[in-house]
Amino acid sequence: MAEIRLFLTQSQGRRRDMTDEILRRYRDSIDNIDAALVFMLAERFKITQAVGEYKATTNLPPADPGREERQIERLRQLAKDAKLDPDFTEKFLRFIIDEVIRHHEQIRDEAS
Amino acid sequence: MAEIRLFLTQSQGRRRDMTDEILRRYRDSIDNIDAALVFMLAERFKITQAVGEYKATTNLPPADPGREERQIERLRQLAKDAKLDPDFTEKFLRFIIDEVIRHHEQIRDEAS
């Protein structure tokens, strides 16, 4: 009886080790992608910061509704190609653009 | 007078062309980064989908609060390295994780 119990415990232990290893590999990939996303976002905000400053010096209007529409349409199409939910992708772009607008408002408030 | 007006119009036209060219270059870079973000996100959701299915077959609990805390802490540090707002980065990760949870709930509802 004690031997059977020991066998079961070892078997469960091995299965758990394997489970942990598989899960760990998935998580390593997620962590790599998240790091890439963070550095991509940092680069994106560097550019939108430059755009904001450029628009301010050239007296271009800060918002450009036509541009936003075209961005959304393009990203929805790319999402379909990548088998990603287009609605989520549109929500994602709006999430980023909201942050860009917040930055531009900060620049404006600091300048005034 | 007509000549001066013509000169001014031409000069303004040239300046606008240059402005448009500079803005177009910035926007091309933003569009490239956005495409990269979309494809990265598609890959990330492919992995979290696999994790969800794996957890369901191995009877692992769907949520893992310790893991989420570690992810947030790591990304906040990466954000600082990349000169990106850590609070925004945390909000961004939660935005993504909310979508992952929504997917997992869909898988669960379809299975039941």
**DSSP 8-state symbol, B33:** H
Query: Would you call A45 and B84 a contact, using CB atoms and an 8 Å cutoff?
Result: yes
Mean pLDDT of chain A: 87
Mean predicted confidence (pLDDT) in A33-48: 98
Specify whether the CB–CB gap between A33 and B43 falls below 8 A: yes
Calculate the dihedral angle through the C-alpha atoms of A22, B76, A44, A69, rounding to the nearest 10 degrees: 80
Chain B hits for A52, CB-CB cut-off 8 Å, are: none
Chain B hits for A36, CB-CB cut-off 8 Å, are: 40
Query: Pick from B23, B48, B56: which is nearest to B98 by CA?
Result: B48
Concatenated DSSP letters of B35-103: HHHHHHHHHHHHHHHHHHHHHHHTT--S--HHHHHHHHHHHHHHHHHTT--HHHHHHHHHHHHHHHHHH
What tens digit of pLDDT does each residue of B31-70 get? 999 999 999 999 999 999 999 889 888 888 877 889 999 9
Identify the contact set of chain A against chain B, taking CB-CB distances under 8 A: 19, 22-23, 26-27, 29-31, 33-45, 47-48, 50-51, 54-55, 58, 60, 67, 71, 74-75, 78-79, 82-84, 88-89, 92-93, 95, 99
| Residue of chain B nearest A36, judged by CA positions | B40
Enter the pTM of the model: 0.84
Asked whether the predicted pLDDT for residue B73 surpasses 60, the reply is yes
